[in-house]
Structure formats: structure tokens, C-alpha cells
Amino acid sequence: MSDPLVSPPLLRKVDCIRLAVGDLDAAIAFYERLGHGLIWRRPTVAGLRLPESSTEIVLQTEQPGIEVDLLVDDTERAVERFVAAGGTLVSGPFEIEIGRCSVVSDPWQNTLVLLDMSRGPLPETRGQDEPGVGEGG
């Protein structure tokens, strides 16, 4: 087992908390009433600001449940280290809009999403869908 004081921490920060919603427009309006401004939007997903953090609230209509996405420097290396420590690779690595992503499970069956931003963050769209992607909704 490696010494945790010698190895740098694997998980850099919480990138986002993904919340499943049935109606993206209604969910955006609800969270905006709570003071969370829209950063970016796609047809089935939108990112909202947490004022004291770079972590985002991501509202999405694609899959049920809550998901925690954790930022790592390099997804492939993070998976290797995670598995070597006793975790399990569930799926991935695979491409996402901002970089690479994998789903892993710790020895207690907690599912975590590890992602890197090798392609860079999404640009702010000020509430408009990305051109050419389609209408929100």
C-alpha cells in the first residue's frame, strides 16, 4: 500500500452534482429563483452556478438519479490508480464534451464518475443552447 503522504490526492474537486429533472425549463426557472444563475445549456442538460465554488449544479433529463462527478488530472491514470487501490472499473474510459470520463465503484459499491477536462471547460452560453445543437427543452 502506498503512503498517502507521498502520493498526491487522486480526486481534485467535485466538478458537478448532476440532478435528474423531468422538465429542464421548469428546473432552470426553479433554481434561478433560488439565485443560481445559468452558465451553459444544451438541449437536455444545463449548468448552474454555485456562488462560492467552481462546482456546478447540472440539471439533466437524460438519466434518473443523482450523480457526483469528480475531477481528476487524467482519467486513464486515475482509473489505474483507483483499481490498484481496490476499486472497480464500471465503464469507460469514454469521450465526453470536455474530455474523458470513467465510472468506477469503490469497495463499498459507491459509484463515482471520474472525469478530466482535457478538452477544456464548456463556454458560457448565457442561457442559450449551443448553436447547431438544437432547441432546449
pLDDT digit string, tens, across residues 43-85: 999 999 998 999 999 999 999 999 999 999 999 999 999 999 9
pTM for this model (two decimals): 0.78
The CATH number given to whatever domain includes residue 22 is 3.10.180.10
Look up the domain containing 94 and give its range.
72-126
Same structural domain, 87 and 41: no
The last residue of a domain, from among 65, 83, 99: 65
In a domain, 4, yes or no: no
Nearest 5°: phi and psi at 32? -65, -35
Q: How confident is the model at residue 107 (pLDDT cuts 50, 70, 90)?
A: very high
Residue type for 114, please?
Answer: L
Q: State the pLDDT at residue 7.
A: 82
* Residue 130, C-alpha cell as written in the block: 449551443
Same structural domain, 95 and 121: yes
Q: State the pLDDT at residue 4.
A: 54
For 3-55, the pLDDT digits (tens) are: 555 689 999 999 999 999 999 999 999 999 999 999 999 999 999 999 899 99
Residue 123 reports pLDDT greater than 90 = no
For the chain, the domain total comes to: 2
101 CB-near residues (< 8 Å, 6+ apart)? 75, 92, 93, 94, 95, 113, 114, 115, 116
Nearest 5°: phi and psi at 69? -105, 125
Same structural domain, 51 and 23: yes
Q: How far is CA 126 from CA 27, 61, 65, in A?
A: 16, 20, 26
In a domain, 59, yes or no: yes
Burial class (CB within 10 angstroms; exposed 0-12, middle 13-18, buried 19+) of 1: exposed
Q: How confident is the model at residue 136 (pLDDT cuts 50, 70, 90)?
A: very low
Residue 132 reports pLDDT greater than 60 = no
Same structural domain, 79 and 61: no
